[in-house]
């Protein structure tokens, strides 16, 4: 009887601890994106696969392979360098950098669905790329362990960007550099539709200048950040036109509702950019070569 009661209390305490941890691990005051929310809403398996139909195979970020080529060339990557890809998605950028530049890439993503898809790619077997399912805000990475930190349209999920940027600064080697693309908001008051969109997606967006200020506050030097609205609009319009032209092929695998959801989503995104509510920005900088 005593053993049964002991076992009961042990199980009860374990469950209590798990419940407490689950609540606490959402972040310090709700500051980290929730994996279950992402995988059951925006990044379901079906959602990821249909995104891939508009971004391009292997990509879940603005411009797919085209923008990846344009942005990675800014990093002057060298063979053997170690790259941390935050929000690596289904692996498109990680595989591209490893294959094109000979770098070693560690990809981290909060979405378990994304990581599972990335790990199933054939390139995973032949390239120096490793994917981790985890929360970037709690992962314990060694200081001075990466030459480059790269992130594409992902940090919009992070509320406490200042804390993340300080972690990134620690993880970079002296002289290391970062490159980030992300959604931001304009300087004017947002429309009700945009506020609802941000709330529904559980995004945490800031304006471009505030984003730069947080990066500098974390210790980075030579920080540059700019809106790329015209490039963003060009990409969105091309993606939407290509997707519409591919409708017949898309409907062989997905539903008419899936098709309309993507068309509506891209059309509304174009409207937000044109109105000045939403912008796509690119940020770059580095850690000083000698840190005192």
Whether 180 contacts 283, CB under 8 Å: yes
pLDDT at 27 over 90: no
pLDDT score, position 253 = 95
Instruction: Give me the mean pLDDT over the 46-57 stretch.
Output: 93
Pair of tokens at residue 257: 């509702």
Distance separating alpha carbons of residues 39 and 113, to the nearest angstrom: 6
- For domain 35-286, say whether CATH 1.10.3720.10 is its number: no
Strand order in the sheet with 82-86: 129-133, 104-109, 82-86, 146-152, 172-185, 278-286, 221-227
**26 vs 84, residue with greater confidence:** 84
Q: Over 60: is that where the pLDDT of 68 sits? A: yes
CA distance 141 to 149: 12
Average pLDDT over residues 266-289: 97
Task: Determine the average pLDDT of the residues in 233-254.
Answer: 97
Q: Residue 40: what pLDDT?
A: 64
pLDDT at 12 over 60: no
pLDDT at position 225: 97
Is the pLDDT at 6 greater than 50? The verdict is no
Mean pLDDT (whole number) for 57-63: 94
- pLDDT class of 292 with cuts at 50, 70, 90: low
Mean pLDDT, range 30-48, rounded to an integer: 69
Q: Which of 91, 129, 128, 97 is nearest to 111 (CA)?
A: 91
The confidence score (pLDDT) of residue 42 equals 72
Rg over alpha carbons for the chain, rounded to the nearest Å, is 20
Residue 36, pLDDT score = 73
Burial 210-249 (b: 16+ CB within 10 A, else e): ebbebbeebbbeebebebbbeebeebbeebbeebeeeeee
13: tokens are 């305490």
Does an H or E element contain 147, and which? Answer: strand 146-152
Helices first, then strands: H and E counts in the chain: 12, 7
Distances in whole angstroms, Cα of residue 123 to Cα of each of 61, 82, 146, 238: 19, 18, 22, 27
Region 235-247 average pLDDT: 97
- CB crowding 82-111: b at 16 or more within 10 Å, else e: bbbbbbbbbbbbbbbbbeebebbbbbbbbb
Q: What's the pTM? A: 0.86
pLDDT at 291 over 80: no
**pLDDT at 14 > cutoff 60:** no
Amino acid 206: pLDDT: 97
Largest interatomic CA distance in the chain: 73
pLDDT of residue 13: 36
User: pLDDT-derived band of residue 39, with 50, 70 and 90 as boundaries?
Assistant: low
Confidence of residue 290 (pLDDT cuts 50, 70, 90): confident
Structure tokens at 68: 């990846």
- The mean predicted confidence, pLDDT, of the chain is 88
Residue 35's pLDDT band, with cuts at 50, 70 and 90, is confident
pLDDT tops 80 at residue 23:
no
Residue 123: the pLDDT is 82
What CA–CA distance (Å, rounded) separates 242 from 249?
A: 12
pLDDT value of residue 37: 67
Given this model, what pLDDT does residue 191 score? 96
Question: Residues with Cβ < 8 Å from 182, sequence gap 6 or more?
Answer: 151, 153, 154, 155, 156, 211, 280, 281, 283
pLDDT of residue 16: 34
Distance CA 215, CA 94 (A): 23
What is the three-class DSSP state of 161? helix
**pLDDT at residue 182 above 80?**
yes
């Amino acid at each position: 009887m005593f053993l049964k009661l002991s076992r009961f209390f042990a199980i009860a305490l374990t469950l209590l601890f798990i419940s407490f941890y689950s609540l606490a691990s959402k972040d310090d005051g709700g500051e980290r994106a929730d994996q279950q929310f992402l995988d059951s809403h925006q990044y379901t398996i079906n959602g990821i696969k249909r995104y891939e139909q508009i971004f391009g195979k292997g990509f879940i970020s603005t411009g797919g392979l085209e923008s990846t080529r344009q942005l990675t060339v800014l990093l002057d990557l060298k063979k053997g360098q170690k790259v941390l890809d935050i929000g690596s998605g289904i692996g498109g950028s990680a595989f591209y950098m490893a294959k094109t530049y000979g770098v070693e890439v560690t990809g981290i993503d909060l979405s378990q669905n994304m990581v599972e898809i990335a790990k199933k790619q054939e390139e995973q077997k032949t390239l120096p790329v490793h994917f981790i399912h985890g929360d970037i805000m709690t992962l314990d990475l060694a200081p001075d362990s990466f030459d480059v930190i790269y992130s594409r349209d992902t940090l919009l999920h992070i509320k406490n960007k200042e804390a993340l940027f300080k972690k990134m600064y620690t993880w970079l080697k002296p002289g290391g550099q970062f490159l980030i693309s992300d959604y931001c908001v304009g300087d004017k008051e947002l429309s009700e539709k945009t506020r609802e969109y941000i709330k529904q997606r559980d995004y945490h967006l800031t304006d471009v200048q505030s984003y730069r200020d947080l990066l500098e506050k974390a210790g980075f030097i030579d920080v540059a950040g700019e809106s790329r609205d015209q490039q963003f609009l060009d990409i969105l319009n091309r993606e939407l036109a290509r997707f519409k032209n591919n409708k017949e092929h898309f409907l062989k695998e997905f539903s008419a509702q899936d098709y309309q959801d993507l068309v509506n989503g891209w059309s509304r995104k174009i409207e937000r950019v044109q109105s000045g509510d939403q912008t796509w920005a690119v940020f770059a900088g580095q850690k000083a070569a000698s840190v005192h």
